[in-house]
Amino acid sequence: MKPVESKKSHNGIITTAILWCLLIIFIIPFAIMLISAFKTNAEIMGNPLAISKNPTLSNFIDAFTAMNYPVALLNTFIITLISVALIILTSAMVAYYVLRSKSKVGKFIFYLFTSSMMIPFQAIMIPLVTIYGHLGLLSNRMTLIYLYIGFGCSQGMFIFHGFMKSSIPISIEESAKIDGANVKQIFFGIVFPLLKPIIATLAVLDVLWIWNDFMLPSLVLTKPFQLTLPLSNYSFSGQMSVNFGPLIASLVMTIIPVLVLYIFLQKYIIEGITSGAVKS
């Protein structure tokens, strides 16, 4: 038995070595950013590999004010939070209607929503800008949240529908009905709390989408005080085409909140991605 075991651990070492080498390649971009963010522009141009001899925070200070960091962070945070909360609420409710109403309307909504998931955003953006522009609704963060609900609710409905169908026994609902509870009481009192695991999944998917989204907000938000982090990064990169130091610092500042969150929630995020991908 012994030679087999030693061969096995030998293989384990090779596997580990391959994976760590791959990981280093994967991590290099992050490392380069961290190294460069603390260097002066002259140092970056001179030798991008070297670690700065006198690390400086001036890039961060420049970027912080020039990209209006606190405002962009707050915009991104509020837009993401409200949109995701409302997507979860609206799509859970519509999924409950589709599942429990047993009507033709419910079936129709299900097919309408799921078939719309095939439409790429690019096929909607031009008429969207035309219509909402004529109505005077662009340049407005509330409009953006409204649009996110519209674009997010079909996937949400689909995921909630699948979960409710397989994991919410109708018998508890029926016994509550006999006790005199109405539909709203049953949904918010019994069904919604049972959705927690799938709410986490959808929240992960939607937060990653909306936090990082660029195309839709670039069409809707135009004023400097409305910009989200990706928009602010992009417009800042236009001003900093040769001045790499502050640009890199602005990217580091954009990444850090997400990375910190990931370190604490990675278990849920990975689980959420797994079940989300398999379900949709």
Partner 1 sequence: MGHNKKAQGLKFFIAFAAPTVFIFITVVLIPFVYGVIMTFTDTNGISSSINWIGFKNYIQVIKDKAFWSSLLITIEYVLASVIFTNALSFIIAYLLTLGIKGQSFLRSAFFTPNLLGGIVLGLVWRFIFQKFFVYIGTAFHIPILEVSWLADSHKALIAMIIVSIWKTTGYLMIIYIAGFTSIPKDLLEAADIDGCNKLQKILKIQAPMMASSFVICTFLTITGSFMAYDINVSLTKGDPFGSTTLISLNIFREAFVHNNYGKGQAEAIILFIIIAFIASLQVYLGKKAEVEQ
How many whole angstroms separate alpha carbon 275 and alpha carbon 280? 9
Nearer to partner 1, 64 or 146 (CB): 146
- Among the listed residues 253, 251, 265, the one whose alpha carbon sits nearest the alpha carbon of residue 29: 251
Name the E strands within the chain: none
CB 196 within 8 A of CB 260: no
How many whole angstroms separate alpha carbon 154 and alpha carbon 119? 11
To partner 1, the closest distance from the beta carbon of 73 in angstroms equals: 14
Residues 6+ apart with CB under 8 A from 197: 163, 275
To partner 1, the closest distance from the beta carbon of 57 in angstroms equals: 19
Nearer to partner 1, 84 or 147 (CB): 147
- Distances from the Cα of 110 to the Cαs of 98, 155, 157, 165, 253, in angstroms? 7, 11, 8, 13, 41
CB 75 within 8 A of CB 254: no
Nearer to partner 1, 52 or 116 (CB): 116
To partner 1, the closest distance from the beta carbon of 171 in angstroms equals: 20
Which residue type does 84 have?
V
Q: Three-class SS of residue 215?
A: helix
Nearer to partner 1, 223 or 264 (CB): 264
Nearer to partner 1, 19 or 78 (CB): 19
Nearer to partner 1, 71 or 208 (CB): 208
Phi and psi of 75, rounded to 5°?
-55, -50
How many whole angstroms separate alpha carbon 269 and alpha carbon 279? 15
Nearer to partner 1, 71 or 258 (CB): 258
To partner 1, the closest distance from the beta carbon of 234 in angstroms equals: 5
To partner 1, the closest distance from the beta carbon of 87 in angstroms equals: 9
